[in-house]
Amino acid sequence: MKILLVNPPNCGRSIPEELFGIDSIRQIFRGEPLALEVLAGNLPGHDIKILDLKVEPDALEATLGSFRPELVGFTAVTCEANTVLKLAETVKESCGARVVVGGIHASCDPAFFNSRAIDFIVVGLGKESFAELVSSIETGSSKNGIPGVAVTNSGGDLQFTPRTFAASDLAESALPRYDLVARYRGSYTLSALGSRLGMVASAFGCPYSCSFCCISSLTEGSYLTHSVDSVVNQMKMLGDIPVIRLVDANTFGNTKHAEHLARAIVAAGIRKHFIADVRSDTVVRYPELMRQWKEAGLRSVVIGFEEIADNDLARLNKENSVAVNDEAIAILHDLGITIVGDFIVSPDYDDARFELLERYVLDRHIDLPILTVLTPLPGTPLYAGMQERITIRDLDYYTLTNAVVPTLLGEKRFYQQYARLMNSFHAKAKL
Ligand code: B12
């Protein structure tokens, strides 16, 4: 079957820019669409093309015309959801192919895609569900009843059998089709280092349940790891690409697995720079593991510090503390591992709180601080809790850089403070 897998263009709208002309927050995101490469890997025998609209934003219609796909698959995060609905309409008008959508937004809020332009919605990890769907389309058998796959029913209720995710959903003997993005490879760079960047997944899901995070919807709460051999093979497939972003929500959720992986990387003679997500309490409990990873090439860690006071961390169900965050920072500085620190700015911040955050980050020498605005993403506990305060429901604004509930400070002041901190942090940032 001819299958076109589409990565949506950079999308999302910006209140600070639209209302106040603050455009310094705008960012362009690029990186390979690993989900699509992973899905393609589990569909042997099919004629598959990946179209990356983040690189070629206007190429959809021409590609539909020349490739004539029978099935088109889209991936989407929340701020891309409206765009994907529109692109699905273009597909229907232009070639009538069947359309399937999967990814984080489809998993958190499947009903959003219950639309005439979309035929199927894949909820959660998609490698096996999608292969089962493709085979049922080919054989003409019923698509109802494939766990994790919803057949759309525009105007009616969306019904499907949830999937119980297990190791088999990783289908790890089927490796990602990195070759399908070869023509885009030059665009997948890390501007901070000026070097080419590849992505590898080693684990899915996360053992924790922070209230703002949408990751658990991908695995229904379970934490699954790829075998060490499979991860090493994927790293090797990336050839001479010098930097690898491990895209897992939590690469160190199973510390024994992480330890074996570090050893295997060294044993395989892989010499690359790695960037991976870790929790600060893991760093504090397992400093030796961090040292081992440093030797294996761990250059930078992404840590969700999120907030700067214990009661705020508790409110986010982070199950962590400022003291532990501080200890982790000291350990990582000692090891020479750079820290990408995620912080969540609440719409309830006042001037004093912005200043406290600035002091906190500068005093601790966080190498690359990232600020997002607290956003109740559909499908998260935070969304349920903040539902009544939400004033902006247009998902185009769910880029994590807009306040979708009223701000305590005047709106202009809030975004000026937010932009001021981003600029102050990024002036000296390194990776
Ligand atoms: C790599 C990454 C990126 C890359 C994406 C590369 C690309 N596609 O172009 C880049 C850097 C471009 C990016 C950008 C952004 N990202 Co991002 N990103 C990630 C990250 C770290 C990993 C995603 C990944 O590759 N996972 C590995 C693959 C294999 O897994 P997967 O994507 O889940 O795919 C599986 C299933 O979802 C499903 N599936 C996925 N797509 C499809 C499609 C079909 C047809 C089917 C059948 C199944 C299916 O099957 C796959 C295999 O099992 C995640 C965090 C995480 N750990 O998931 C955040 C994450 C997805 N990003 C997020 C966000 C918010 C953004 C940005 C808005 C920036 C920001 N403020 O952080 C922008 C959005 C881009 C834009 N402006 O339009 C959020 C999404 C939250 C949400 N609900 O929207 C996440 C979850 C991180 C977070 N903060 O919580 N991101």
Architecture of domain 2-167: 3-Layer(aba) Sandwich (3.40)
Q: Report how far ligand 1's centroid is from the alpha carbon of 103 (Å).
A: 7
292: how many CB neighbours lie within 10 A of its CB?
18
Q: Which is the closest atom of ligand 1 to the Cα of 379?
A: 83
Outline which parts of the chain fall under CATH 3.20.20.70. 188-427
Is residue 6 a contact partner of residue 139, using CB atoms and an 8 Å limit?
no
Query: Residue whose CA is closest, atom 67 of ligand 1?
Result: 399
Is residue 197 a contact partner of residue 190, using CB atoms and an 8 Å limit?
yes
Q: Which is the closest atom of ligand 1 to the Cα of 120?
A: 47
| Ligand 1 pocket at CB < 6 A | 7, 10-12, 29-31, 33-35, 38-39, 54, 73-75, 77-80, 100-105, 107-108, 122, 125-127, 130, 199, 201, 213-215, 218, 247-249, 372, 377, 399-400
Written as six digits, the tokens of 217 are 């919807």
Written as six digits, the tokens of 57 are 């934003």
Is residue 124 a contact partner of residue 108, using CB atoms and an 8 Å limit?
no
Q: Report how far ligand 1's centroid is from the alpha carbon of 104 (Å).
A: 7
Written as six digits, the tokens of 256 are 């024994």
Query: Residue whose CA is closest, atom 24 of ligand 1?
Result: 247
Query: CA 254 to CA 235: how far, in whole Å?
Result: 19
Q: Report how far ligand 1's centroid is from the alpha carbon of 350 (Å).
A: 31
Q: Report how far ligand 1's centroid is from the alpha carbon of 217 (Å).
A: 13
Q: Which is the closest atom of ligand 1 to the Cα of 73?
A: 45
Ranges assigned E (strand) in 234-313: 243-246, 273-277, 298-306
Q: Which is the closest atom of ligand 1 to the Cα of 74?
A: 45
The pairing of strands 189-190 and 195-200 is: antiparallel
For residue 225, give the 3-state DSSP assignment.
strand
What are 275's strand-pairing partners?
A: 245, 300
CATH of domain 188-427: 3.20.20.70
Pocket test for ligand 1, best of 3, 11, 29, 373 (most atoms within 8 A of CB): 29
71 sits in which H/E element: strand 71-75
Q: Report how far ligand 1's centroid is from the alpha carbon of 76 (Å).
A: 7
What are 338's strand-pairing partners?
A: 300
pTM of structure: 0.97
Strands of the sheet containing 71-75, edge to edge, are 47-52, 2-7, 71-75, 98-102, 120-122, 149-151
Outline which parts of the chain fall under CATH 3.40.50.280. 2-167
Exposure of 263 in the CB half-sphere (CA atoms within 13 A): 8
Residues of the chain where predicted confidence (pLDDT) is lower than 50 = none
For residue 243, give the 3-state DSSP assignment.
strand
Query: Residue whose CA is closest, atom 9 of ligand 1?
Result: 33
